[in-house]
Structure 1
Amino acid sequence: MSVGAAPDSEVVLETHRLLLRPFRVADAVVLRELWTERDPRVPPHRRISADGRPTVAELADAIRTDQLSSIGLFAVERKTSHDVIGYCGLVDGWRGAAGEPELAFELLRRVWGRGYATEASLAVVEWARSCGYERLWATVWDWNTASRRVLAKAGFTETERREVNAVHGTNLFTTRRL
């Protein structure tokens, strides 16, 4: 992985197959597609509402006003085709300790099973280490075996901490020391 600065000094992470870069307004279409593909077991506030929200326009506005993340959430772009396939990065660690952000990733279903999530996650872990973080967290639903595998490949281990939701399943807490 290499870390480079874009012309406007924003962080860009590069792997063998991927660029992890700041979001562009045009990426709102991909974010909306991610919202539409979410598993029905995901809580309603993270899925498209009955009135169709969030809309592409609302997601574009969130990108424009930098409301997606206060730490570093990146669009994941394939280098060969230049298409955005999801996101990966660090979000405020509201579930972990102060100064310990949470790894977050989500990719379009059509690219699942190709190792992109692991590749992107490992790049973000290395970037977090270079930024001086000592530990990262990630949460995952117990039923989400694919994401659990990605986290394990990225060096995260499950903790004893759990949040049980009778409707949506159990949210597992994982962590990785850097």
Structure 2
Amino acid sequence: MTDASVPGREVLLETDRLWLRPWRVAEAAIHRELWTERDERVPPHRRIDADGHPTVAELAERIRANPPSTTGFLAIERKDAGDVIGYCGLIEGQETPGEPELAFELFRRAWNQGYATEASTAVLDWARSSGYERLWATVREWNTASRRVLAKLGFTETDRREADPLYGTTLFVTRRL
């Protein structure tokens, strides 16, 4: 993995098959397409609502309003095809201040090819080199594919769970770097 980051500049991570880089405003339609593929068990605030929100324009504004930084969702671009297949990155954690959460989401067409593990490994390596000592992740109990990725990455379940009879129990997992 190459880390082309410099303090105060955007993060660009490279693996054998992928680039992880900030989203571009012109990719708002791709970002919205991810929303359309989400499982019906995902809570409503993370799905397209009955009025069609978020729209491509709203997602473009979110990208524009959040300049590239050392955290946040990085677009996952396949080197060979030049297409964006999802995102991976760090978000503000729910557990402990200063210990962010790993998050990833890929198009279904990119599932079962090792991309989530590869992208997440690059983000974990970057986090370690940036001085983080531990990361968290949250995952719905029913999301076995993401749970497998997190287990491959060395995350372990904690005792914390948030039961939700409508959308499934959220598990809190962690990993020391």
TM-score above 0.5? yes
Match of 1:172 in 2: 171
| Secondary structure at the counterpart of residue 20 of structure 2 | strand
1:71: how far off?
A: 2.4
Alignment partner of 1:148 is 2:147 = yes
- 1:117-150 Cα shifts (integer Å, max 9, x gaps): 0000010000000110010000000000000001
The more displaced of 70-79 and 122-131 is: 70-79
1:154: how far off?
A: 1.1
Alignment partner of 1:138 is 2:133 = no
When residues 54 and 69 of structure 1 are mapped into structure 2, their CA distance, relative to the original with a 3 A threshold, is farther
1:82-93 equivalence runs, <5 A: 82-93=82-93
Match of 1:96 in 2: 95
- 1:76-99 Cα shifts (integer Å, max 9, x gaps): 000111100110000001x11010
The residue type paired with residue 108 of structure 1 is F
Give % identity.
Answer: 68
RMSD of aligned C-alpha atoms?
Answer: 1.7
Match of 1:4 in 2: 4
Alignment partner of 1:65 is 2:68 = no
Give the TM-score, by structure 2 length: 0.95
Alignment partner of 1:159 is 2:158 = yes
When residues 74 and 98 of structure 1 are mapped into structure 2, their CA distance, relative to the original with a 3 A threshold, is same
| Secondary structure at the counterpart of residue 136 of structure 1 | strand
Please tell me whether the aligned partners of residues 99 and 134 of structure 2 are also in contact (alpha carbons under 8 angstroms). yes
In structure 1, list runs of 5 or more residues that go unmatched.
none
- 1:9-39 Cα shifts (integer Å, max 9, x gaps): 3210000000000110122111101100000
1:31-70 equivalence runs, <5 A: 31-66=31-66
Please tell me whether the aligned partners of residues 78 and 85 of structure 2 are also in contact (alpha carbons under 8 angstroms). yes
The more displaced of 142-151 and 9-18 is: 9-18
| Secondary structure at the counterpart of residue 74 of structure 1 | strand
- 1:36-86 Cα shifts (integer Å, max 9, x gaps): 000000111110000000001100110011179882320000011110011
Alpha-carbon distance between aligned partners in 2 of 1:4 and 1:177, rounded to the nearest angstrom: 24
Moved over 4 A (4+): 67-70
Please tell me whether the aligned partners of residues 85 and 107 of structure 2 are also in contact (alpha carbons under 8 angstroms). yes
Alpha-carbon distance between aligned partners in 2 of 1:12 and 1:113, rounded to the nearest angstrom: 24
1:5: how far off?
A: 4.0
When residues 11 and 85 of structure 1 are mapped into structure 2, their CA distance, relative to the original with a 3 A threshold, is same
